[in-house]
Amino acid sequence: MLSRKEVEGIKKQYPKGTKIRLCEMEGETTVPPGTKGTVTKVDDIGQIHVKWENGSSLAINTEVDDFYIVTPQEELSEKKEREFLQKINQLMRRVNFTLLNTSCNGKGTIYAAEKLLAMHQAFEEVYGKGYVDESYGMVLMPAVVRGRKSGIHALALVSLDLESSGEHWGTTFFTPKGPWTQGDDKLTEEQKGIINECYIPYDYWYTPLVERDHHVNFNSMPESVVKIRRLVEEHLASQQAQEMEGPKQI
């Protein structure tokens, strides 16, 4: 049992309105790991009462449960990711995924190049132009992937940890049947099999600018990937030229 001094310390550390994220709640499955919530109060025995985002109001036992405070920067990162995904979802509603697959893997790459450029521009609208600030932490980025065994190409969103020099954590592939996310429990066994057959293992080349990433070699991109990325490269080169010229004099 916590002492009065320890309880007072918890009340000061977790005032009403504090954002927290659950890692694990002992003996409970109502609130899944990763769920975010807002502190409503700390009672006199040191339990933290929380309004969880899934509707639950289960209290946290600080002696056995694992959780942490969500920082303002993490909240900003989550907000940016939601904004970006909203834009991507709007773009994907207008995509012909069969045509996209054909364009990624044939000679006529213009359709795939246009869609990749649109994804990149959506990214810039949310995160800005130039190098992405590493303080955003985990970020989804538009990319081209190629299966090492199959040689099959696809547009994708890759999840990178910018605080760990771009360490890769997973991918959503834009397949002929639509977006499929690697490791998603909702995938059927058939879908998992197709991902494994067509894409895994794979190499990837994202389009935003990231500093100190030693995981991806952009100097040895296959010509097939270069063709898909060409509109993005032209877009970035145009931006760089404009920045070098500076503002036009009137």
Per-residue confidence (pLDDT) for residue 166, from 0 to 100: 87
Per-residue confidence (pLDDT) for residue 213, from 0 to 100: 85
Collapsing DSSP states into helix, strand and coil, what is residue 216? coil
The Cα–Cα gap between 104 and 106 comes to: 6
- Chain centroid to CA 14: how far? 28
Determine if residue 249 is left, alpha or beta; phi over 0 gives left, psi from -120 to 50 gives alpha, anything else beta: beta
pLDDT for 47-64, tens place per residue? 999 999 999 999 999 999
Per-residue confidence (pLDDT) for residue 200, from 0 to 100: 95
The Cα–Cα gap between 9 and 22 comes to: 20
pLDDT for 124-142, tens place per residue? 999 999 999 999 999 999 9
Which residues of the chain fall below pLDDT 50?
none
Per-residue confidence (pLDDT) for residue 248, from 0 to 100: 58
Collapsing DSSP states into helix, strand and coil, what is residue 38? strand
Radius of gyration of the chain (CA): 22
Q: Which domains does the chain have, with CATH numbers?
A: 4-69 (2.30.30.40), 73-245 (no CATH)
* Contact status, residue 42 vs residue 7, Cβ threshold 8 Å: yes
CA distances from 122 to 140, 197, 211, 245 (A): 12, 30, 20, 25
Per-residue confidence (pLDDT) for residue 1, from 0 to 100: 82
* Contact status, residue 14 vs residue 70, Cβ threshold 8 Å: no
